[in-house]
Amino acid sequence: MADWSPTEYLHYDGERSRPFADLLARVDAQPRTIVDLGCGPGHLTALLHARWPGADVVGIDSSPAMIDRARATNDDPQARYELGDVTEYACGTGARADLVISNAALQWVPDHRALLTRLADRAGQAFAFQVPGNHDAPSHVLLRSVAARPPYADVVGPVERRATADPSEYLDLLARPGWRVDAWETTYVHVLTGPDPVLRWISATGARPTLAALDAHDPALRERFETEYGAALREAYPARGYGTALEFRRVFAVATRV
């Protein structure tokens, strides 16, 4: 599959980074070592260093484009970035850390629920993560329904519904003896500007595998899909004088050793 585009991903940097700051605010720990799983283009590790100066921070991501970008921009010269996989990390590859953190990445990992206690066990002090909880938002329902139409369905097959859990389910999975768990959700209302902003937003993330599959088959088919999907998104997310409102639900959990 085509790799991520760090440039397109960072177009909505401010909106995408805000949940990370909200997650950090709830971490009650003094880590000297931190692993950021699915770190993306590396723009967030500086926030970790701002909160815990001097901490040894390693960002791990499975995307070569994201890791290259993180190393090239050098936004946070103190951090190190490594190609790696969350599932392998959960199974014991790579160094343990006082804090294991992950923002907007675990939803991409197959059967992420089954990995949560393993990931927490790799943390000496705390394990904190945020995942989108918008798998049934109009943006995703429309993606699945347009992709299910001919001629797209023959190329992409059914689009996976990457469902994350509710906060109470994450609490239930992580609240073992010796751990205190804080789980919650927040719905942000992002005000996006520019033409077709919701299409642009989701093309860099949730719709990326579908668009890449269409593009690999025939770039004209991808364009046709974008036209059809874009029209459906404009109806679901109408542009107003102030911009286009995108409601985005996110689910958070912080498990801390007691």
Ligand X SMILES: C[S@@+](CC[C@H](N)C(=O)[O-])C[C@H]1O[C@@H](n2cnc3c(N)ncnc32)[C@H](O)[C@@H]1O
Q: CA 116 → CA 107, 128, 165, 178, 185, distances in Å? A: 12, 10, 12, 15, 18
**Nearer Cβ to ligand X (20/201):** 20
Task: Pick between residue 62 and residue 125 the one whose CB is nearest to ligand X.
Answer: 62
The nearest distance, CB 153 to ligand X, in angstroms, is 25
Residue 57 vs 152, nearer CB to ligand X: 57
Instruction: Give me the least distance between CB of 5 and ligand X, in Å please.
Output: 10
Closest CB 40 distance from ligand X, rounded Å: 3
Task: Pick the closer one to ligand X by CB: 31 or 38.
Answer: 38
- What sign does the CA torsion over 254, 183, 248, 110 have? positive
**Min separation Cβ 12 and ligand X, Å:** 10
In the bound state with ligand X, the residue whose beta carbon lies nearer, of 89 and 152, is 89
Q: How far apart are CA 241 and CA 71, in angstroms?
A: 39
CA distance 126 to 240: 42
Residue whose Cβ sits closest to ligand X: 40
88's enclosing H/E stretch is helix 86-90
Binding site for ligand X (CB under 6 A): 4, 16, 20, 38-40, 44, 61-63, 66, 85-87, 103-105, 108-109, 205
At closest approach, how far in Å is the CB of 215 from ligand X?
18
CA 63, CA 170: separation in Å to the nearest integer?
Answer: 26
Nearest to ligand X of 119, 174 (CB atom): 119
Supply the minimum distance, in Å, between the C-beta of residue 20 and ligand X: 6
Taking each helix axis as running N to C, give the angle between helix 219-236 and helix 208-217, from 0 to 180 degrees, rounded to the nearest 10: 150
Query: DSSP string covering 134-196, please?
Result: -TTSHHHHHHHHHHTSTTHHHHH-SPP------HHHHHHHH--TTEEEEEEEEEEEEEE-SSS
